[in-house]
Amino acid sequence: MLNVYAPQALNEKVNLWTKLLAFMNSHVGDYIMFGDFIAVRMEEDRFGSEFNQADTNAFDEFLIESSLVEMYLGGNKYTWRNKAGNKMSKLDPFFVTNNILDSIEHLKGVVLPRGFDDIVKETWVNYVPDGRDLSIMAKLKNLKAKLKIWNKEIYSSDASRIQQIVLRIVTLDSKMDDGSITELEIKE
């Protein structure tokens, strides 16, 4: 298992890919590689920022030579965005060797919603034991309870928004059918 944090400059990335490939060739086995590669594989993996074909070519060449394949990631399409939200990229993929994909039939990863790491850190740091149980298991149990609440808040609001959007689409569709839709609603 290799966690990568790639440099920004292309020549430094190529140097990293060369070193990783040499390591993998001298340590034969199956690999899981993840981290921040500071490279995307396709133009649609970037939004609002420049796509660099040279970065992509160097990265793809490394992946081919290392026999790594990208693992499916569910969840958010982009794993990074700037504070303004107008630039986004898929920078944190998972790559595995084919043997791993073949041996674990339905292997996939999930890009968690923003805020997950914050809730984990906050819950872990601010845990106050009840005096009886100071074990790691008590901290983990507390974290699990907090994550359940967080998960319900995050995904129940998504379901509610989806219901509202679907209802609005049905309403607009009905108005289109009977001819009562307004110009403003058409633009909506």
Instruction: Provide the β-strand partners of residue 94.
Output: 34
Q: What is the DSSP string of 7-45?
A: -SSHHHHHHHHHHHHHHHHHS-S--EEEEE-S--SSGGG
- 156 against 118, higher pLDDT: 118
pLDDT band at 22 (very low <50, low <70, confident <90, very high): very high
Q: Computed from CA positions of residues 38, 39, 44, 45, in that sequence, does the dihedral angle turn out positive or negative?
A: negative
pTM summary value: 0.62
- Return the closest-CA partner of residue 147 out of 173, 181, 121, 167: 121
CA dihedral 123, 126, 129, 133 (to 10 degrees): 50
Per-residue pLDDT tens digits for 39-97: 888 898 888 888 889 999 999 999 999 999 998 777 778 888 888 888 888 888 889 99
pLDDT band at 177 (very low <50, low <70, confident <90, very high): confident
Q: What's residue 133's pLDDT?
A: 67
Taking only the tens place, the pLDDT of each residue in 94-143 is 899 988 888 887 777 777 777 788 889 998 888 887 767 667 888 888 89
